Structure 1
Amino acid sequence: MIIRSKAPLRLGFAGGGTDVSPYSDSKGGAVLNATINKYAYVTLVPRRDNKIHITSLDYDIVADYKVDQRLVFDGEMDLAKGVIEKFKRNQDGFELYTHGDAPAGSGLGSSSTMVVAMIGAFKEWHQIPLGDYDIAHLAYEIERKDIGIKGGKQDQYAAAFGGFNFMEFEGEQIIINPLRIKPHIVNELQYNMLLCYTGGTRPSARIIDSQVKNFVSGKKDTVEAMDFLKQNAIDMKKALLTGKLNEFGELIPSLMKCTRKRGRQEP
Structure 2
Amino acid sequence: MRGCLEFLDIDEGIEINHAGDLPARSGLGSSSAFTVGMLSALHALRNETPSRVQLADEAIKVEQEVLCETVGIQDQIACAWGGLNMIEINRAGNYGIIPILLPEERQTMLESRLMLFFTGIQRHASEIAKAQIDNTERNVDALEAITGQVRQAFVILKEGNMDEFGYLLGEGWKLKRQLSDKISTPEIDVLYA
TM-score computed with the length of structure 1 as normaliser: 0.64
Task: Let me know the Cα RMSD of the aligned residues.
Answer: 1.6
What is the percent sequence identity of the aligned residues?
28
The partner residue of 1:186 within 107, 115, 119 is 107
- Alpha-carbon distance in 1 for matches of 2:27, 2:93: 24
Q: Which moved more, 1:171-180 or 1:113-122?
A: 171-180
Q: Residue deviations 1:48-68, cap 9 Å, x none?
A: xxxxxxxxxxxxxxxxxxxxx
Please, which of 11, 16, 22 is the counterpart of residue 102 of structure 1?
22
Higher relative contact order (CA 8 A, sep 6+): 1
Structure showing the higher helix proportion among its residues: 2
Match in the other structure for 1:39: none
* Counterpart AA for 1:100: G
1:168 aligns with 2:85: no
Q: Are 2:7 and 2:66, in contact at CA under 8 Å, matched by a contact in 1?
A: no
> What are the superposed Cα offsets for residues 103-153 of structure 1, whole Å, 9 maximum, x if unpaired?
122121000110001011111110124100000100000011111111111
Q: How many residues align?
A: 181
Residues 1:261 and 2:181 aligned together: no
CA distance in 2, matches of 1:88, 1:209: 29
SS of residue in 2 equivalent to 1:95: coil
**Distance across 2 between alignment mates of 1:150 and 1:193:** 29
Alignment partner, residue 131 of structure 1 = 51
Indicate the residue corresponding to 1:197 in structure 2: 118
Task: Name the amino acid aligned to 2:164.
Answer: E
AA at the equivalent of 1:105:
R
**Richer in strand (by share):** 1
Is 1:122 the counterpart of 2:122? The answer is no
Larger radius of gyration: 1
Q: Contact 1:225 / 1:258 at 8 angstroms: preserved in 2?
A: yes
Alignment of 1:20-31 (within 5 A): none
AA matched with 1:232:
Q
Alignment of 1:137-156 (within 5 A): 137-156=57-76
What is the aligned partner in structure 2 of residue 232 from structure 1?
149
The equivalent of 1:87 in structure 2 is: 8
Structure 1 position 243, deviation (Å): 4.3
Rounded to whole Å, the distance in 1 between the matches of 2:93 and 2:73 is 11
- Alpha-carbon distance in 1 for matches of 2:124, 2:171: 21
* Alignment TM-score, normalising by the size of structure 2: 0.87
Shift of 1:242: 1.1
Dislocated runs of 4+, deviation >4 Å: none
Quick one: distance in 1 between partners of 2:130 and 2:140? 14
Q: 1:159 corresponds to which residue?
A: 79
Deviations 1:40-99 (A, max 9, x none): xxxxxxxxxxxxxxxxxxxxxxxxxxxxxxxxxxxxxxxx1110112235x742111122
CA distance in 1, matches of 2:61, 2:180: 24
